[in-house]
Structure 1
Amino acid sequence: MSEPMRPRGRPAHTPGPTVLTYTPDGRYIITGGSNSAIRIYTVGQDGEPKTVEEGADGHLGIGATNEYFFMGAEDGTVWQYEVHSGRMEKLLVRCALPVRDIGITKDREWVAVASDELTVKLVNIEDMTKVKYLREQAKGTKHITFDPNGRFVAVSCTDGIVYLYSLDAEEPELVRKLDGVIRRLEPEDEATARVVWHPDGTAFATAEATRDVAVFSVGEWKKEMTFSGGHNGDITAVSWSPNGALLVTAAKDGQVLLWDSKTQKILRQYDLPNVINVDWHPTKNALSLTTSDGELFIYDGFLSKDHQPFLQKPLQAAPIFPGALTEISDNARRPLANRPKEAQRRERLGSPDSLDDILGYDEDMDDFVDDDDGAGYAEGLNGHGKRTNGHLDDIDGHVGKRVLASFAKPNVHLPLQPGSTPWRGNRRYLCLNLTGAVWTVDQETHNTVTVEFYDRELHRDFHFTDPYLYDRACLNEHGALFSNNPSDGPATIFYRPHETWTTRADWRTQLPEGEHIRALALSESYIVAVTTKDYVRVYTLYGTPFKVYRQKSPAVTCAAWRDYVMTIGNGPLGSDGRTATLRYSVENVKRDEICQNEDVVAIPEGSELKSVFFSDRGDPCIYDSEGVLLVLQHWRTPGQARWVPLLDTKQLERLATGRKEETYWPIAVAQDKFHCIILKGGDRYPYFPRPMLSEFEFRIPISDKPGKAQEDEEEGASRNDNMRLEESFVRGNVLLSLFKDLISSTHATATQRAELSRKELELDKVLLQLLAIECREGEDRGMKALELVHMMKDRNGKMVEAAVKVAQRYGRGVLEDKIRDLAERRYTGEDDDDELA
């Protein structure tokens, strides 16, 4: 049969990049190009398209549902439009760099935005404040595609690497990085690096640098076969037919080729130059193409009568199996019995809970006996129709037991350097705290390190070339500390003081061969390093080794303040071979006194330690992945320490509406406040330029979030006042106990003693306000009111006198008498602080 008549090209856009897509129902074709115009063509009609002139210039990415379509532009914007009217609905998201591609999830709830930025964003269509992030890329993204089953998303980067993420969990998780699958491309190149998923979801195709098309299996992620020998130029477009029986490719050689997926043979060749995009109609025998000349070609009746039967077949299995392919029925997920055995196995391998992997499935056994009626009588038979010995136990025990044992890996916490971030692109922070920031930039042959201070009147910023490739750092008002862990030499510690009265005061020391540093800490007096051999190495500020000892638990991190050192390690393995706890120790290295020894760090199950540091008053603090800041109370007394929450960031008022999605990067605890960096959306780490610091008042979580709406407005206001005062009382007690511990362990100054009295007075004032609320509520609240008076410190009796006046004001005569009796017993010494009179 002769080739169908070539359609007339429609001048849709100015010359340059063009994009197109069908809506999922096949009713419309939408195109965009280098100009601002957007064209909406109604399928089956030859009239003029609907033109939308509101778009930005340079459309590079497109995606559509039946109701909306999305355009990504060179200015970094992604706009949402209504399909039927073409009306611009809203700005969905904005990127700092050009948007290169757009993908839409199977459920049509999320739009993936790929740009020249390193991070890919998944934005919810209904609520654009909900954003997920794909963060593992080292270079900008050229293409992004979702598999038809909605389980995976493929990101094709300009560095020639394909990143495959699983969407099974709430947050996307990287499952495989494929290097060399696609060629390296510049963002503006017309050649394609797109991952094109087969409609059955068990394979995908990509264009190789050899101008062939490779097909990879899902699950094993390896190349199974190629469509080769077709093109003499770089491939610009690849597209499977809706049922997977055919493949169309276009290239710079001016050829569009139609392939038989089953045999990988060329069925027909079309002369169409400059084609850069190809898309099949979802249900009809039609194909649309756009060119770099800005033209759109709509091929109705694309396949000749000889080839139309290919398109009329039900969904076909991906061509990743040896030998002839077996067709499957119209329902792609149900009739697995009709699929090739290898196809079934590979599809199961794509699942994270594959029974084949666990039970040692052997697909060859299925070929001997056919179970025609599905009754299951063929199970467990060998090649002679006899029952195998598979029902007997293995020599080494049940397979399931062996597999479970092999997967029982210890659940240990990875080493943590407080204040540091992972690499993003070619830079990372080595240290972030209230003194300043230290960051490093990878220059391929060396690094460059910058140290920047907040107080530039006190210290001057400095910058140096780093041939040692430092990977950890600490910074305080006295100096900067660095370390590295080279693969071909000993680990090094380098300290540089900010000021010195000698010619040179910086120093460098090396650790024994084979011992690497897991974490560093720097105080006013000492330098601390915990190592891979679980040694705690303590040095003076000028390089003298002061102490070396091995801690009892495998080292994770450390912190230091003045003469105190806090080390944290993984706890012992449980009976299941896992560890769920972290253990900490606190020591005064100068006095050689252990304050707390191998106690448990209070981290909930399933959470992680995000940072550890001492407050400005010297109290150990931790911040966990649940967003909770905790302080170690009574830590100077052996056996008395406990972790007290100072702030649950998920209960902040700014998050009460539920519209904001943000987390907090811990920096410090100072001046009775939590200092942090606010991370917007799904960001997990601070990035450049260096963000501003924010601070939050402590709020101990004792009840619901303040400000929640109440059924009765007056009752709600009263309850909120009560909650606020109760929280203030609990928080004041904690801060008072921390301050008492501080001044009892040091030589208290007159200023500190005065501050202690002030803190006690403030606490009594809170109790007095709570007393007023109880008196206002009614006589039946008298027991609690008296209890509040009893809790007052009241060194001089003035607060009890004030409590009497409050009872008088509200006419609580019985309560007034009880308070006077309490005051009299206190003055005579009869009142016992441990009992309520």
Structure 2
Amino acid sequence: MDSLKQVFVTAGTTLVRHSHDGSKLYVCTNSILKVFDVLNPEREPEVLDILGKVSSFEVGELNGHRYGIVTSRSGVCEYYDLDSLQSMGKLVRSPLSLRDAVFTHGGSMVLCGGSDGELKLVALGADASIKSINTGDQVTAIGYNNIGDLAAVSLSNGDVSIYAYSTAEPVKKHVYTNITEKHKLLDDEDEDDLDIDDSFGTHPPEAKNVAGVCGCDWHPDGDLIAIPTKDKEIEVYDRTNFSSLEFKFKGHVHEKPLVDLKWSPNGAHLASLGQDRKLIIWETASRKSTKVYSLPENGCSLSWGRGDGDFEIVVGTDHGHIIRYESVVPMEETGTREGKVVADEAESEPESEVTGLFDEAPEDDFIVDDDGSGYVEKKRSLETNQPIKHRKVVIDEPAYRPSFEIQPYSPGGTPWNGNRKYLTMNSVGYAWTVKLESYNTVTVSFFDKGLHNEYHFKDLYGFNVASITEDGILLASATKGKKSTIMYKSHDQQDTWIRTLLLQPGEFVSSVTLSKNSIYVATSLGFVRKYSLFGRIERIEKTAPVVACVNSEKYLFTVTYNSGSLNFNVQDLDGKYFQRNEHLPLALASGSYSSYPLKGVFFSLDGDPCVVGSDDFLLILTRWRDPLQASWIPILDTAAGVKKLALGDDIKCWPLGLLKNHFNSIVTRGSEYPSFPLAMPLEIPVKLPITGEEEEEDPEEELVRHITLGELLNDAIQNDDVVDETAQERLADISVKYDAALLKQFGQSCNDSNLHDALYLASKLRDERALHAASKIAERLQLVQLVNKITKLREARLEWDE
């Protein structure tokens, strides 16, 4: 059943959008936006004055607040608060018309484009920065995948370009050449010449496409993209392989080009609107058309709404009307290729006999409240789209209950930012997860785009701890109580396995770690299990509750909580201890995620354990291969280091790793954690906090730094722990720089006539050439007595060598 309602007295392009929960219907035309209360249809709509010459309208949410963006053919993109119904200001001004804009990155940014051929990414909020790239042709429409941060950009030449916006610099992933209708967009001045007046509905034939062009739409689970073709068909592609056609919808087809298309909120159906005044409903599972509606007027846009148990569709027309089609399809269906939500093929296959190591246990609804939200978000209500809150289960925990609250920890992992979070991050790459209604999705990406292709998979287990290497990724669900699911995936998709781990009451997986040859899973009760890369358990140990763990190809480093403080352990992969229950000098603070004592835990490129605490100091462990000799050296104040290299206020950094003598990190602005899109890594030279003051050049700091780096590298070389073939050359270079730093101080002491200090410094020089240089400096300053003593020092060394 359909019903036609007049919204605007004057004719014109009418755009419709529902709020995410379906409770509001937004209808706009030039200069006017009306807001209808879907739950109380008898109420008069609220009205907001907006831009004129509207070309697109979109609705988004951020932290439960509704916002809108409008673009105009006069080249303006404006931002609106839809809850308070007021303008938040203009985001973009372009000399040519803007054609489309979408919310991106969970609603925190806006991507827009138009006749100038540029895509502009605008950060909302105080930063309000704009980044632009050139597409090579006019932008007619933008479809955005908020799960994979992918933009499908339709161009006037018929191409569709796919851009990845997961990093600060977008990457072009694929181009569909000449696939859609070609459109020559008219600029605002050209439209004025045609005497177009949308408010009175006069559309000359030459200006049919002024209102907008049908773009592409992404499936709600982020896997599939529907593209309207120039043959008036709808082709569907999977983002795992953009070049291969997944399927075409079959059955009743449009006789004229498409105007709009949208997947249903659950992805079970697709609706398309054509210039032939047809609204067609397509079923995802069967890939066929199931319903066809004939419109009394030309449709401009469509939007899916939620009725009483069924989805409905609202269409905006070119006469200022909206048409409501009730009970289009039922809401309970889901929409993958087979019509149901399934895991990856490897996730759904029967478990091998290795599963016998971990007997299955009943599901437990209790999930560790790692985001501080106080509830488990299992699914959302279909009526309100709000999270259904589950009562926390009270579990009898052991008598040992530390005042410090251990939380699930992954190196580089962040708390939830809306419906997304980074699971883990290091110098190799990163993985992030996005919450959907009935499951999550995980995307794995790499800083070196030539290493592996980015890939994604469905997560039915709620993974929230992870570890990534060049070869694969390890994930675990930190479910508290009965069991945890552990999954390993190789990046080449050749090896995948899933295992179930039984847990004690109150226990959860607190950290996992992966290297090229081994896997470790640690829990909040101190159980540490070692597995092969094929899921075979090889060792189990009980220790103090584990806060974090990382492993290299030869060693395991764990941080534990015991007697009110953090301790650390270093073992080889056979379990032999080098350091055991030694104090870790980090301050404890219980409570929020931001006060957690660990920001980063990793092995340096040369195999030494490193930690970054909440105080932002990078500490590296020295002399740890010798009993009772281990000591932590602060080799960088990361907060000071990033401020020296980056411009702007409120600059911080997020740890990735230590690469030789450079700290690898992600710069954050205005936040403690990396946001979306992810900035490119920044390398900060290590600098020891000798004086605590910022100085451009400090020979004392140079000296101590090179002593520390030389000691670390020499120890690693002596124990065959260095994989870098240039290690010996680097050690020789450190020795040269050590002497150079000594000579700077020697020269300063000579200028100050501090001859005793100068002679002491000369005695520390290692190379004969450096001693000769010191002698020349003293001779140039006519310090004869010092020259004689250096000469005697050189002669004594020569005799010793002989």
Report the TM-score, using the length of structure 2 for normalisation: 0.49
Q: Which is bigger in relative contact order (C-alpha 8 A, separation at least 6)?
A: 2
Report the TM-score, using the length of structure 1 for normalisation: 0.47
